[in-house]
Structure 1
């Protein structure tokens, strides 16, 4: 129960940080900037930070930890794969729309494209994210890849996903700073006007959210158990209330797929006895 409480505390803190970050980015563009529109002007550019925060940061973060939610463990692994892929696809679509908004604004205002480090890394991470999405769907949702390929690709898939998430937050922070430096003239960014302080807090919220997501995603005791273990637990529980097994489930690792059937049965019987 202690591990479950720790998980819920981390999850609640991440959800709160995400919610406040979305509120802050909307408040920024609607109150301090020109609002939202699709007319080639500054209001169209404002879609860029809004969609990046909502899609590329928050939705991607949710997609990363969706397997860790204990109340989803009764769902099939295939369904969770579709949810994971769907969230990532939606995040990718929002990121692409945000990029279109930037290029439209730059072209309309006769501002050069792709001249800053923020733009270089931003475009690179969108392309790599799309590649990660295609490879993930091809490897784990389309039933053609051999099991050995899936097992070999999984560490790279996990590492790439976390690396892209970290990079997205870093690039977002670069973009926030760049926008404040270029957008604030009287007073300037260095004079710490209210907008600068407000948006700096937004950056801190993104870092906090990212750190919490990484913490949740890297705790092995919070991983979704393998389908074999879940099946053994439900079978050995003999119809007992699943909430009794829940605390024990939270201590199992998703990496148990490679366990032998005898190990699965032994662990299932042990947890079943504890649940009674």
Structure 2
């Protein structure tokens, strides 16, 4: 890998900042927001930021850069696809639970749902995330899609994944700010109370984590190299990529060689028969 030390430094920084984001979220809800629960109270709502930061921010960020880890380049592409899909599936489950916690809290307190910009962005990004996960599963992991369709979908899959991750960061920041505006009244948010300063720091950590993930995943020199025997055939050839493609080429050569040998035997057959008759 070119620039291995730089990659390692950024990776360690991203993991550290991501872990601190999760830790700060837990400290926020346990120390400043009275803890966690599942009883329709504010304690149930507190699951929402914890699960979102843990799942959609931290775990999704790791899933995005998992292909860039040079220690996994000797692993099969199928294994890495399973790890990538598994991490995203865990993040999606946590995101759905976080939405349930919010709606339960709102309904128990007779608070209207889906009226704020944060709620619009948040629900939209969760829906897009689940659709992205399903599309990736059926198109690339199974895969059920033909090669030509997979080749068409791959750049869209990569772009939409980064777009969704960026929207998640924006949704998390708006959610943190919205919660502070509602919760901090005495003392007011504008008076720089300790909770406000602490949670603003959490927002900066989330932002820095997103920036590090974007930088790592967009560096072409840190991209996972192609498989050693990877030969991508044209879609109209009907042969899948990778080892199967090279196997198809070898089989094609073997078939052509066997056909040539058969033709040579046919050409030599009359001579052999003539020789046998002359000896008789």
Q: Under TM normalisation by the shorter chain, which class is it?
A: 0.7 to 0.9
Q: Quote the offset at 1:34 in angstroms.
A: 1.7
- Tell me the TM-score normalised to structure 2 length: 0.81
Distance 1:188 1:158 in 2: 42
Equivalent position of 1:62 in the other structure: 62
Residue 186 of structure 2: SS of its match in structure 1? coil
Equivalent position of 1:52 in the other structure: 52
Gaps of 5+ in 1: 232-256, 262-276
1:172-211 residue pairs with structure 2 within 5 A? 172-211=172-211
1:11-160 residue pairs with structure 2 within 5 A? 11-160=11-160
Equivalent position of 1:251 in the other structure: none
- Give CA-to-partner distance per residue, 1:93-146, whole Å, 9 cap, x none: 000000000000000111000000000110000001111011100100123211
Gaps of 5+ in 2: 232-241, 247-280
Decide which moves more: 136-145 or 123-132.
136-145
Residue 112 of structure 1: SS of its match in structure 2? coil
Equivalent position of 2:4 in the other structure: 4
Q: Quote the offset at 1:215 in angstroms.
A: 0.4
RMSD: 1.8
- Tell me the TM-score normalised to structure 1 length: 0.82
- Give CA-to-partner distance per residue, 1:252-274, whole Å, 9 cap, x none: xxxxx8xx98xxxxxxxxxxxxx
Distance 2:198 2:50 in 1: 15
Distance 2:42 2:34 in 1: 7
Contact 2:2/2:221 (8 A) holds in 1: no
Aligned length: 235
- Give CA-to-partner distance per residue, 1:199-226, whole Å, 9 cap, x none: 0000000000000000010001101111
Higher-Rg structure is 2
Distance 1:191 1:107 in 2: 31
Contact 2:41/2:105 (8 A) holds in 1: yes
Distance 1:163 1:2 in 2: 26
